[in-house]
């Protein structure tokens, strides 16, 4: 009993510490107006599209955690065809769900762009049989139905040779020892954000991976300024080291209300973000409805 209590208290301390991570730096009064549609939406749909669905492995983390080799992971590009891709059907289903917005991956931690990036060859247009942009047609169908468009973008890029992180137990270099190399990656990363901004002008930006670097190293304030200069009404999630508009707890209902005025619980319908045929542990309709009711009654959105 004592050991169980000790474990619980340690977990609670860790959770409390994490709540202070990336505390909001944006005055909610300044963004009240543009956040109204988000507050009204209540439900969003989250689509993790990527080459990891070819063999049904864990998205990006499978090679990072060495469950599969990096070369074998990237070979999935050869099997990524999009032969059954039907953005109109997807948009119809999202509309039927009553969701007010949808978020899709433009690039996960594996660095594979799902759109036509001009900054390298690591995209489904240049390096897979799909040979098409997955984002533009989907956003076009969403906008026909007055559904807001969200772009997931990973700040982390484990496959980029100028990004310091790679595998869980190894790094390519330390930033403080090679800042020139870090600047080279940062220019690339911000360049891709600029591409997505110009090509698609998302209503919502869903960043991920900010935990690996500080706001200063990411230049989070600059990224926010880039986006809002192009689109002052754009909403940015809280994974930008404090320079976002709302909080995004993941998978579990938060023990205490998030620090941001607006928040969103992102959650999978089974145990996986991407398509994994072996994962059949789906939540029941009762579970989904109960979670949704709990989130909304506590002032949040559910991104499912």
Indicate if the pLDDT at residue 56 is higher than 60. Answer: yes
Count H helices, E strands: the chain? 12, 7
**pLDDT digits 0-9 by tens, 116-132:** 999 999 999 999 999 99
More confident residue, 1 or 45: 45
State the pLDDT at residue 257: 78
Q: Would you kindly state where each structural domain of the chain is located, as residue ranges?
A: 36-303
**CATH class of domain segment(s) 36-303:** alpha beta
Mapped to the 3 state alphabet, what secondary structure does 51-70 carry?
HHHCCCCCCCHHHHCCCCCH
State the pLDDT at residue 134: 98
**Rounded to two decimals, what is the model's pTM?**
0.91
**Residue % of the chain over a pLDDT of 90:** 83
Mean pLDDT of 61-69: 93
State the pLDDT at residue 67: 94
DSSP string, 8-54: HHHHHHHHHHHHTTT---S-HHHHTTTTHHHHHH-EEEEE--SGGGT
Q: Which structure tokens are listed for 173?
A: 């270099």
State the pLDDT at residue 206: 99
Contacting residues for 106 by C-beta, under 8 A, at least 6 apart: 113, 114, 115, 135, 151, 152, 153, 196, 200
State the pLDDT at residue 38: 98
More confident residue, 134 or 22: 134
**pLDDT digits 0-9 by tens, 19-53:** 434 678 899 999 999 999 999 999 999 999 999 99
State the pLDDT at residue 185: 99
State the pLDDT at residue 255: 77
CA torsion 68→65→283→100, rounded to 10°?
-100
**pLDDT digits 0-9 by tens, 146-187:** 999 999 999 999 999 999 999 999 999 999 999 999 999 999
Q: pLDDT grade, residue 3 (50/70/90)?
A: very low
């Amino acid at each position: 009993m004592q050991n169980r209590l000790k474990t619980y208290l340690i977990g609670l301390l860790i959770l409390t510490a994490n709540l202070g991570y990336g505390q909001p730096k944006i005055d909610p009064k300044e963004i009240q107006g543009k956040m109204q549609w988000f507050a009204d939406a209540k439900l969003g749909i989250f689509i993790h599209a990527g080459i990891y669905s070819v063999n049904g492995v864990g998205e990006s983390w499978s090679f990072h955690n060495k469950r599969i080799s990096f070369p074998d992971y990237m070979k999935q590009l050869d099997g990524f065809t999009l032969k059954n891709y039907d953005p109109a059907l997807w948009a119809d289903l999202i509309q039927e769900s009553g969701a007010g917005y949808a978020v899709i991956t433009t690039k996960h931690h594996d660095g594979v762009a799902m759109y036509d990036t001009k900054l390298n060859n690591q995209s489904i247009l240049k390096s897979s049989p799909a040979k098409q942009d997955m984002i533009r047609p989907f956003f076009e169908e969403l906008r026909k139905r007055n559904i807001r468009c969200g772009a997931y973008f990973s700040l982390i890029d484990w496959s980029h040779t100028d990004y310091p992180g790679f595998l869980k137990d190894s790094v390519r270099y330390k930033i403080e020892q090679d800042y020139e190399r870090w600047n080279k990656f940062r220019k690339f990363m911000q360049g891709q954000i600029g591409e997505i901004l110009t090509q698609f002008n998302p209503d919502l930006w869903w960043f991920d991976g900010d935990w690996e670097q500080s706001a200063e190293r990411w230049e989070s304030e600059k990224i926010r300024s880039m986006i809002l200069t192009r689109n002052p009404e754009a909403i940015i999630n809280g994974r930008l080291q404090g320079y976002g508009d709302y909080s995004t707890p993941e998978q579990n209902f938060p023990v205490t209300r998030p620090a941001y005025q607006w928040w969103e619980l992102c959650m999978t319908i089974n145990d996986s973000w991407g398509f994994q045929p072996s994962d059949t542990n789906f939540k029941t309709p009762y579970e989904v409805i109960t979670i949704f009711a709990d989130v909304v009654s506590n002032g949040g959105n559910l991104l499912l």
